[in-house]
Amino acid sequence: MGSKRRLIPWIHDVLATLDFETALDPFSGTGCVAYLMKAMGRRVTASDFLSFTSLIAQATVANGTRTLDTADIDAILSLRADVDDFVARTFAGVFFTAEDRAFLDRASAGLRGLDDQDARALAYAALFRSCLKKQPRGVFTVSGDLAHYDDGRRDLRLSLEEHFREQVAVFNAAVFDNGRINRALQADVFAVDPVGFDLVYLDPPYVPRSDDNCYVKRYHFLEGLSCYWQGLEILHGTKVKKIAKRFTPFSYRRTAVDAFERMFARFSKSTIVLSYSSNGYPDLDVLEELLRRYKRRVDIFERSHRYHFGTHASVERARVTEYLVVGRE
Ligand SMILES: C[S@@+](CC[C@H](N)C(=O)[O-])C[C@H]1O[C@@H](n2cnc3c(N)ncnc32)[C@H](O)[C@@H]1O
């Protein structure tokens, strides 16, 4: 959700007109924009306050050379004495089959045993994508008997272990070195040191139209899996065993405008490229006015876009205009 993947060619064309060598993407999400800038040969820092998204950025943006071979996979999947059964116990009747849950417990123990942080991140990225593919709608909001979603899709038939082996190959193929030292961080946007970036690409969450917009609500299982739920509080009263969502000021009407202003002030030394959709809050003219307080030149690029998320009834609402608001000088 919220991925700019389909807009990457357009974002590339806009970024290609800008003069920058170093870039920060402090709301990296899937990492696709940071990965684009890496592919453009820039020195990139990707950051996100969630752990699972930071691992994806570590695997694909920061990591330039490490891939996983058969010995790594054997090490991850080997039977070990220290395997906990947390996933099997906690998510029985909620997500996946018993065999898949046992696999996640085993793979989690194996992954934690990998010393190399790039190797571990790459394996996590493959594991997350496997879990998403096996969930009928690619989210963790629905649980229990999912038979009515079963349209015979291969993704639903493969075991998580089979998915994992395939996804390792997919992520291995995505690894490349752009000759720069790129980084991945897990941090709140207001905790990232703003110094030293020619360009900052900002794609914060926007105030949701409905509760359905929350990332943690949709992807809580991956966030939990990324640290084996260590230090996270599970809301046991919830059907899908969610974790508490992280506060972000961008998601609430009463705090969003102030958060944008503080963010623009924080990155005022860099060229700012802000992603914005026509269905967002605050309105575009409010954001433009805020940005003009810090930037002499503000240009707005736009493009119509249809999001492939949502039910048939919401398809119309999903048709939006996408903007890139560029502040310079
Ligand atoms: C709209 S998504 C970014 C999508 C990304 N550009 C992509 O194409 O995949 C927003 C991201 O910001 C993260 N986030 C929300 N509030 C944050 C904060 N205060 N600091 C850092 N990251 C935050 C969320 O975890 C989410 O991954």
DSSP string, 52-87: HHHHHHIIIII-SS----HHHHHHHHS--TT---HH
Q: How far is the CA of 49 from the centre of ligand 1 (A)?
A: 7
Q: Which of 52-66, 90-104, 290-304, 308-322 has the lowest mean pLDDT?
A: 308-322
**Residues 103/159, Cβ–Cβ less than 8 Å:** yes
Q: How far is the CA of 203 from the centre of ligand 1 (A)?
A: 6
CA–CA dist 28, 49 (Å, integer): 9
Q: How far is the CA of 180 from the centre of ligand 1 (A)?
A: 24
Phi, psi angle pair for 285, to nearest 5°: -65, -30
Q: Could you tell me how far CA 295 lies from the centroid of its own chain?
A: 29
User: 1-56+183-205+249-329: which CATH topology?
Assistant: Rossmann fold (3.40.50)
In this structure, the residue with its CA closest to atom 5 of ligand 1 is 29
**Residue 148: CB atoms within 10 Å:** 7
> Coil, strand or helix: which one is 206?
coil
Can you give the length of the chain in residues? 329
> What does the pLDDT look like over 44-54, one tens digit per residue?
999 999 999 99
Residues touching ligand 1 (Cβ under 6 Å) are 2-4, 26-27, 29-30, 32-33, 48-50, 53, 188-189, 203-205, 215, 248, 250
CA–CA dist 297, 231 (Å, integer): 45
**Residues 95/103, Cβ–Cβ less than 8 Å:** no
Tell me what percent of the residues of the chain surpass a pLDDT of 90. Answer: 78
Tell me what percent of the residues of the chain surpass a pLDDT of 70. Answer: 93
Question: Which pair of tokens denotes residue 137?
Answer: 């709608």
CA–CA dist 176, 225 (Å, integer): 26
Q: How far is the CA of 176 from the centre of ligand 1 (A)?
A: 24
Selected residue with higher pLDDT from 80 and 126: 126
Q: Tell me what the mean pLDDT of segment 272-280 comes to.
A: 92
- Whether 325 shows a pLDDT value over 60: the answer reads yes
Pocket test for ligand 1, best of 11, 25, 48 (most atoms within 8 A of CB): 48
Nearest atom (ligand 1) to Cα of 30: 9
**Alpha helices in 135-252, H assignment, sequence order:** 154-157, 160-174, 215-226
Question: Which pair of tokens denotes residue 99?
Answer: 């065999």
Nearest atom (ligand 1) to Cα of 2: 1
In this structure, the residue with its CA closest to atom 16 of ligand 1 is 248
Residue 307 pLDDT grade (very low, low, confident, very high; cuts 50, 70, 90): low
Question: Which pair of tokens denotes residue 131?
Answer: 């879990």
Q: Tell me what the mean pLDDT of segment 104-128 comes to.
A: 96
Q: Tell me what the mean pLDDT of segment 13-35 comes to.
A: 98
Q: Tell me what the mean pLDDT of segment 66-95 comes to.
A: 92
Q: How far is the CA of 172 from the centre of ligand 1 (A)?
A: 24
State the average pLDDT for the chain.
Answer: 92
Q: Tell me what the mean pLDDT of segment 36-63 comes to.
A: 98
> What does the pLDDT look like over 164-212, one tens digit per residue?
999 999 999 999 999 999 999 999 999 999 999 999 999 999 887 665 5
Q: Which helix (H) or strand (E) holds 98?
A: helix 98-112
**Residues 39/15, Cβ–Cβ less than 8 Å:** no
Which of 20, 7, 18, 4 minimizes the C-alpha distance to 180? 20
> Coil, strand or helix: which one is 46?
strand
pLDDT at 209: 67
> Coil, strand or helix: which one is 184?
strand
